[in-house]
Structure 1
């Protein structure tokens, strides 16, 4: 089983904020939450392990990632001023405790994968809604990092589903192991230079062109990131240097990009 990447932003908050804590409790132990997700993954991998051992291992791995998310959220909630018990706190201060009825108990392999893909999509939607309400840069960086994991899970599950439908072998544990165990020092951009003008004209993501962005003088290819469709991403554009924006929202943790998208060169000085 591959180890879980530890390159998450530092767990800290700007100051205590009970409203933020209540929002994170929904992600922590609400109906759509990390607690629901990890419980569902571990239930499903137990159901299918005999007939679908490789898929079972994939689900177990994703469950471990969700467990990591749960631990991170619990620490944030505590720092924000609320005991991270497994419940949400509504606006009227009513407590609603987490329930196992939130889990989608399936037996069919295809329904299992479909349920978990939908669960990941619901989690991403909820995290993005909370990002609109939270103004703490430390929390924003952590939630953005968690969303990246959930997006990866959708890709993995979708490919597993398609391989099963096409009767192809499932070999994700080998690729996951290789992906997770790469050393940071092993990742070096190709020795190619791009001018700002070249990036803006030919790598802006428009009309089918590749979408490249510059962070800390390194050029990254974000063409396969869905949220960069059409060369735009939450009001910023491909083909440009976005170091300042990235550092503000991700606290300078460039390893997030190195783990996720190809490095294609450097910005020419």
Structure 2
């Protein structure tokens, strides 16, 4: 099983492998199907989170056993460590220059392919990497599919300096936004305030419902002290949804098509090196 921080506890990454919970089977199915979009020689943004960890392990398996050549740009220190462990060639975004695609998870996505990301605290790097890519593919389980964003708290990364003032300015902004509630909490870790890879705090906005995600995303980033928010607007191109029985649904924003794919069989990973 792969935990939220990307650590491995002994279960292989193949869809249909014994020992996976229904939720992990769904995440794993989506991750494996998304890796089918990766072609030899591509430069790929590697997302952060439990679903993305399945993707990184599947990609690493193809690198080791099928000779797939890829260059990975991780979106967090956690993902970088996992990718190196899997044998994936890792470089910085500056070294890569531009990416063919990014594969990442999401905390919520709506019918317009808007996303909330940042449950793992890496949405700043995730957004930079995703916008430096020709395509972004989101991998998720059905619980992330929502009619309207906002049930999941919206992460906003803020400077530590003056964060209390930034929080007050955000609270004032929310009074004029189409949201259901306006609670704000500073994210905490095991030993105090959660600190991102960039050394910033995260404020989680408990909004319940976001009536106009593009307007809110734009307004938040105009506040001094806000580094970036977790709303991904007009960035995602494809959503791959894994289901507990192992089958996958693929939605394409540009074509408007939705396709279904059967569960990956247990022997899907045999003969990869042939």
TM-score, scaled relative to structure 2 = 0.30
Query: Which structure carries more helix by proportion?
Result: 1
Structure with more of its chain in strand, by fraction: 2
Structure having the higher Rg: 1
TM-score (norm 1): 0.30
